[in-house]
Amino acid sequence: MAEIGQDIIQAKKFLESGKLVAIPTETVYGLGGNALNPSAVASIFETKNRPSFDPLIIHTSSLERVNDFVASFPDPLRKLAEAFWPGPLTLLLPRKKIIPDLVTSGLDRVAVRVPKHPLTSELLASLDFPLAAPSANPFGYISPTTAMHVESQLGGKIPYILDGGNCQVGLESTIVGMEEEKIVIYRLGGLEISKIEKIVGPVHIRDHSSSNPQAPGLLESHYAPRKPFVLGDLDSLVEKYSRENKRFAVMSLSRSFDQIGEGLQIQLSELGDLNQAAQKLFASMRFLDEQEVDVILAEKMPAIGLGNAINDRLKRAAAEV
């Protein structure tokens, strides 16, 4: 079992020796390793059972330190960094040779962000290197939003989990880059598109399904529970699976069903608050996945604000492998 605590000095020692440490961020918990150490980066892929063609995000403590790792910083993307870092924004930037090929899967750009969490910010500021840190879970499974989520899945494989409490955003970062002078959203996430457009104007949103992604976390089937996960109209689905005598659980935005037991249905937000729904999404999926059911039923969120990013995660959780 991994040690769980808030000892930044201990976490730093493990990272400096090439070991992996789970770190809290405002989005989800990350599995951190020295991004400049190919052996440590390889350990991340091995520990998560993550395919090497899926690139990693590197995390650092400030906008100023990003210049150590990137070859250039286009002005529109710099404006986004100035507006939203630290925060749930990842930028795709031309990399310097100091970044190992394994981090970027051989691509010319590296994904960079400055996370917003006091413990991790202090840890990153104390290190001489950035951390490569994908979500701290087995590849393809639901992302962790508490230290115990990490312990239950990776605790036997890593020495230390830095416990920063519950993640406040609950969705991975929004990934943004540029192509031919246009701003491109590669992954919907915890930073709303409307806020980005207020800074840089209209953006192009990329199709998020890819078997050879240009940015982290873009595979078609991802964030998925072990149980079958079905997305659609809940009235029809509840009727169908009731008729078939299947044991099922339900996850909705704010609705409840009288015929379903309390422990088998979750309302992400009784008030329909999409920010609250995003914060609870992965923990709720994980809880329902642990129940004795045949299938988990869910509905799409309103396509506004963070609802678009939640729907992206729901769609990929429901995708067939």
Angstrom distance (rounded) from CA 121 to CA 11:
13
Rounded to 10 degrees, the C-alpha dihedral 66/90/161/275 comes to 140
Has 145 been labeled as part of a binding site? no
- Which stretches of 104-240 are assigned E, i.e. beta strand? 109-113, 131-132, 160-162, 174-179, 182-187, 204-205, 229-231
Has 27 been labeled as part of a binding site? yes
Nearest to 36 by CA among 81, 68, 73: 68
Residue for token pair 């993307």: 77
Has 223 been labeled as part of a binding site? yes
Quick one: tokens of 307? 């609802």
Has 143 been labeled as part of a binding site? yes
CA 141 to chain centre: 11
* Helices assigned H by DSSP within 138-243: 147-154, 193-200, 234-243
DSSP-derived 3-state class of residue 162: strand
Has 222 been labeled as part of a binding site? no
Question: What sign for the dihedral angle of Cα 314, 172, 58, 225?
Answer: negative
Has 286 been labeled as part of a binding site? no
Triad 109, 110, 112: Cα angle to 5°: 140
Has 117 been labeled as part of a binding site? no
> How do beta strands 160-162 and 21-23 pair?
parallel
Binding-site annotation: residue ranges for L-threonine: 27, 113, 133, 173
Binding-site annotation: residue ranges: 27, 50, 59, 113, 133, 135, 143, 173, 187, 223
Binding-site annotation: residue ranges for ATP: 50, 59, 135, 143, 187, 223
